[in-house]
Amino acid sequence: MSRLLERSLPGLLQAFAALLLIGGFYLPLLLFLGGRDPLQPEVSMLRLDFLLDFLTDPWNLRVLRFSLEQALWSAGLSVLVGLPGAWLLTRYDFPGRAAFQRFAYLPFLLPSILVVLAMVLFFGNQGWLNRLLMALFSLKEPPVQFLYSLSGILLGHVFYNFPLAMRLIGDSWERISAQYSLAARMLGHSPRHNFLRITLPLLLPSLTGAFALIFLLCLNSFAIILVLGGGVRHTTIEVLIYQLARIDLDFSGAAVLSLLQSGLALVTLMFLLRRRQHAVRQQSASRLWLPRELRRRRPEAWLGLFWLTGALLFGVGPLLAIVLDSLRQADGFSWNAYQVLFGSRENHRFLAALWNSLRIGLTGALLASILGVGLLLGLERLPGRLRSAVEGLVLLPMAFSTVVFGVAWFHLNQTWLSGDAPLFWVASGLHAILGCPYWLRLVLPTWQAVPQQWHNESRMLGIARIRFWSVVLWPWLRPTLLLAFGFAFALSLGELNSILMIADETVRTLPLEIYSALSGYRFHQASAVGVVLLGMSVSLFWLVERAALLRR
């Protein structure tokens, strides 16, 4: 029995991955794009004339260029800000290190509107930072004015994404053998040479991977670009797509632009990611205790502290602003918002939404993990070129506008499934597909770093595959798998667009509750729901990590 399972499991996993990805994303999309516009049956979905009209207008080209430019800048800056963090996490131990690592999930949990309001509360003209500086130096005008321009967009995007870069890079940095740097130092190379010639090339896959994910995320960004960018001056294609799909109800136009946008994005990425390197790595050396290094007056330890302070101020400040905002009422402080949330009322809508978020998040992350393992096993067998094509296919759901995909999915449900698909599983499946690119990006470098000799040795010793997985691979992959699961979970908890398109009472989640509170003037209550969302996932990750440690 176990033999049979052992032999068929990889195949089953791969089949599941292929089915989920095709049935859940590509089929709805192709059926939608291949047909006619459901609102204007005389028009086919893929209107070439629309595309040509669009591309011959210089104004549109400017919008297109800006969309790509801001995403490139945002991704580059996020990686640049995240890199020292990865170094810090790899090299030093310090009080609160685990909590700091967990902080990487947090921005993903919040709907972008709450992040925008948090940025305004913290960095705005009347925000904490400006009021503090004005009080300190008795100024009349707010000194820090980087919101409402391109720098506001970049600030918002870096806030959102640098923790992701930090974790992605840090996870792979930890696996670079200390022996390399030791050997280099013995050969008389400077630390700078060491970093540039050894560490950086070894880190490259995770750097480009982080860059790619963040680039795609920023391309689809919407509220941040509009509000923090100062209105329509910095408009992007995503805004046009939204307008076409939601206000004009021109689905074919929206679909054409989404295809254009995601196609361009993938081409850009393929160009950037052309060179992929594989490296043999081993477990690194133990970490230094930061407080002691500080007392020893090591300059790099002080630099690390400097970065940490900045990151806390910049990354935690706006989150703290939300927490405080949730405790405010009119001009005073109160628990009122929480009392209203957890108070017993006629319909426990909040608790129901909490439960929905949890179960969809967990199921989605689990499905993403299964999907990821299936893809991992499948990718391994493919020759190089085909492999990057398949990886591109896995990335496409991220690059494609969720507004248009939501419509495509809804259309499929209407015309082919007579509107009867079970929405809980649809939501979980969609979240799994959206979370999978992160999962893969996180796990792939670690997976590829499994030394080939382990496979060979275990085969020579006649160790069964399942035992090899549980005894050798699982301990090696475990931290990364947990991290990937966490990101998929966080992404699902914060996801809004696809939920909006399929939602009815069975799939109301917490982000929807935040929107409900906002639209009913309950701004402090919306912040309170956000805080619950943050608290819930922090404790959940803590539990999961604890459980994983105990097992060992």
Interface with another protein in residues 31-50 (CB under 8 A): 38-39
Please report, for residues 387, 396, 440, the alpha-carbon distance to residue 274 in angstroms, rounded to integers and kept in the order given.
12, 17, 17
Indicate whether 141 belongs to the interface with another protein (CB under 8 A). no
Residue 252 CB, shortest distance to another protein, in Å, is 13
491 vs 495: CA distance, rounded Å: 6
Residue 224 or 483 with smaller CB distance to another protein: 224
Q: Is the dihedral of CA 172, 179, 83, 288 positive or negative?
A: positive
Unique residue bearing structure tokens 């630099």: 303
Residue 27 CB, shortest distance to another protein, in Å, is 7
Residue 176 or 436 with smaller CB distance to another protein: 436
Number of residues located near another protein, criterion CB under 8 A: 80
118 vs 416: CA distance, rounded Å: 42
Residue 249 or 544 with smaller CB distance to another protein: 249
Which residues within the stretch 406-425 sit at the binding site for another protein (CB under 8 A)?
A: 407, 410-412, 414-425
Which residues within the stretch 374-413 sit at the binding site for another protein (CB under 8 A)?
A: 407, 410-412
Picking from 89, 300, 349, the residue whose alpha carbon sits closest to that of residue 191 is 300
- What 8-state DSSP symbol labels residue 233? G
526 vs 350: CA distance, rounded Å: 11
Residue 539 CB, shortest distance to another protein, in Å, is 25
Residue 39 or 133 with smaller CB distance to another protein: 39
Question: Which residues pair with residue 329 across a beta bridge?
Answer: 332
Task: Dump strand ranges (E) for 218-344.
Answer: 288-289, 328-329, 332-333
Residue 228 CB, shortest distance to another protein, in Å, is 8
For residue 508, give both structure tokens.
């109301």
Which residues within the stretch 226-265 sit at the binding site for another protein (CB under 8 A)?
A: 226-233, 235, 239, 242-243, 245-249
Residue 493 CB, shortest distance to another protein, in Å, is 19
Residue 138 or 347 with smaller CB distance to another protein: 347
Residue 312 CB, shortest distance to another protein, in Å, is 22
The window from 310-318, 369-377, 495-503, 544-552 that contacts another protein (CB under 8 A) reads 495-503
The C-alpha torsion from 352 through 108 and 340 to 330, rounded to 10°, is -160
Residue 36 CB, shortest distance to another protein, in Å, is 13
Q: For another protein, which residue of 203, 426, 434, 449 counts as binding (CB under 8 A)?
A: 426
Which residues within the stretch 145-204 sit at the binding site for another protein (CB under 8 A)?
A: 147-148
278 and 444 in contact (C-beta within 8 Å)? Answer: no
522 vs 350: CA distance, rounded Å: 14
Please report, for residues 166, 188, 289, 421, 489, the alpha-carbon distance to residue 173 in angstroms, rounded to integers and kept in the order given.
10, 22, 18, 43, 23
Which residues within the stretch 331-370 sit at the binding site for another protein (CB under 8 A)?
A: 345-347, 349-350
Please report, for residues 263, 265, 366, 501, the alpha-carbon distance to residue 401 in angstroms, rounded to integers and kept in the order given.
11, 12, 24, 13
Q: Is the dihedral of CA 262, 369, 352, 536 positive or negative?
A: negative
The window from 18-26, 89-97, 272-280, 450-458 that contacts another protein (CB under 8 A) reads 18-26
Picking from 274, 278, 106, the residue whose alpha carbon sits closest to that of residue 175 is 278
Indicate whether 143 belongs to the interface with another protein (CB under 8 A). no
Residue 245 or 490 with smaller CB distance to another protein: 245
34 and 27 in contact (C-beta within 8 Å)? Answer: no
Residue 511 CB, shortest distance to another protein, in Å, is 12
493 and 357 in contact (C-beta within 8 Å)? Answer: yes
Residue 172 or 497 with smaller CB distance to another protein: 497
Over the window 473 to 492, marking each residue x when it contacts another protein by CB under 8 A and - when it does not, the resulting string is --------------------
For residue 522, give both structure tokens.
């309950």
Residue 7 or 345 with smaller CB distance to another protein: 345
Residue 307 or 425 with smaller CB distance to another protein: 425
The window from 169-177, 206-214, 509-517, 535-543 that contacts another protein (CB under 8 A) reads 509-517
* Angle at CA of residue 17, ends 13 and 19, nearest 5°: 115
Residue 24 CB, shortest distance to another protein, in Å, is 8
337 and 327 in contact (C-beta within 8 Å)? Answer: yes
Residue 481 CB, shortest distance to another protein, in Å, is 23
Which residues within the stretch 73-102 sit at the binding site for another protein (CB under 8 A)?
A: none
Residue 475 or 520 with smaller CB distance to another protein: 520
The window from 110-118, 257-265, 293-301, 370-378 that contacts another protein (CB under 8 A) reads 110-118
Structural Rg of the chain based on CA atoms = 24
Residue 276 CB, shortest distance to another protein, in Å, is 32
Residue 382 CB, shortest distance to another protein, in Å, is 23
Q: Fill in the amino acid letter for 72.
A: L
Question: Which residues pair with residue 44 across a beta bridge?
Answer: 36
Q: For another protein, which residue of 127, 318, 486, 494 counts as binding (CB under 8 A)?
A: 127
